[in-house]
Amino acid sequence: MDAADELIGLSAVAVVERLRSGETTPHDLLDALEARIGSVDRHVNALPTLCFDRARARADALAKKPLGERGLLAGMPVPIKDLTNVAGVRTTFGSPIFADFVPDASDVLVERLEAAGAVVYAKSNTPEFGAGANTFNEVFGSTLNPYRTSHSAAGSSGGAAVALATGMAWLAHGSDMGGSLRNPASFCGIVGMRPTPGRVAQSRALCVDNTLSVQGPMARTVEDLALLLDAMAGEDRRDPLSKPCPLQSFLAAARSGWKPARVAYSPDLGITPVDREVAAITRRAASLLADAGVRVEEVHPDLAEAHECFQVLRAQAFAVSYAQHLGINRDKLKPEIVWNVEKGLRLTTADIVRAEHQRAAMLARSVKFFETYDLLLCPATIVTPFPVGERYCKSCNGVTFETYIDWLAIAYATTLVCSPALSLPCGFTEDGLPVGLQVVAAPNDEASVLAGARLLEAMLGLRTVRPIEPRAEPIPAAAGAAPAG
């Protein structure tokens, strides 16, 4: 094994320790990544936009500072999802409308990461405007699942998840509305976490009070993810929803050794069908806690209104964000976005009032639930990776979904109640596809999610720190088009 391969196989925490000691330089990491991307990405299409010249200039600037003044990440390379602006780097949002857009300024989040010593070297692929939970677009094409390249990597942070799984990143940025950090983590065998709204500051160009969409971290291990969350988190006056950093670091919380006393497990949260094999694998993972003396009960909070509530609030958010494009660029938008925006524009005030009341009621019931249970465990996704040519999951266990987002309910239910939620690799199907366990806690309790997930990670022993080589298969012809609804 040469030095570059050795670096690629290390955890992010170990790499940052080397950076802080001076044993490894940011240039060493960039060279290793460039070689790895050159050999791997043509098989999976995870990082379509590279900016190594910008990254090396940033590495040079960091090298002029003493080792102790290079920030928390100390020169660690990080790819940014292609929904988030990076100054001077092509940022397409996965849309032909912005195929050649190069922003002058970076998002608040990118500024924070760079201030913490991150080095941006790539943009990760995403579906158009992040919609659909399957990473394909007309600008760059499809991102493929490295466990079976004929299958979906999910989305919308699919490029980031695949980059991590294949060793083209140690840490990665993503974002999440209805599971976009958690679904690809589950499909690709890595860790992805949706933090509490406001935990990570972001630019708010079109809507100030949106708490459905958040920015968050992805990594191959829980400790690595906690390290990146420490670099991301914090207050910024440009984001009035942003929160101060907690007194204890997230990495320290992950390492705390805390063990829950009482945990809930649910295969379906009472609101969705679930693949039988997914349910069995996640239930088996949850039962490990019982073996460790934790009380595990099969129960869930009442989230009955989640479908109606999320459909309305998501449609409202899409109308606010993308209605401007319907008049002049309708032909360049994929049909799912057109449908979602038009649904939002048809909403009445009464529809929105009802949805907000439903959300408040579910939040109150969930907060009460977490007075009894330290954590809630359930599948991160209800199915295993499906063929990449299928635009979205249309059915599960004999239930046919009405719209292109219904299959995401087990993730968007936790979005609605503002809970931090993490997808943890918890096993594999009989044919070798990964399954993720969703670990959920009360709002603002990322510490319990991280500590509980690290405990389970150690029990499961899946060794996700080691990247995989893509397992190539022919890709079937693309399936067609418009969603129902």
* Active-site residue list: 81, 156, 180
Q: In angstroms, rounded to a whole number, what is the distance separating the alpha carbons of residues 418 and 161?
A: 23
Helix, strand, or coil (residue 11): coil
Buried b (16+ CB within 10 A) or exposed e, 110-142: bbbbbebbbbbbbbbbbbbbbbbbbbbbebbeb
162: Cβ contacts below 8 Å, ≥ 6 apart: 44, 46, 143, 144, 145, 146, 153, 168, 184, 188
Locate the DSSP E strands across 157-220.
171-176, 191-194, 214-219
Start-to-end C-alpha separation, the chain: 53
Q: In angstroms, rounded to a whole number, what is the distance separating the alpha carbons of residues 384 and 382?
A: 7
Buried b (16+ CB within 10 A) or exposed e, 144-181: bbbbbbbbbbbbbbbbbbbbbbbbbbbbbbbbbbbbbb
Tell me the longest C-alpha to C-alpha distance in the chain: 63
Q: Where are the alpha helices (DSSP H) in 166-275?
A: 182-188, 222-232, 250-254
Helix, strand, or coil (residue 435): strand
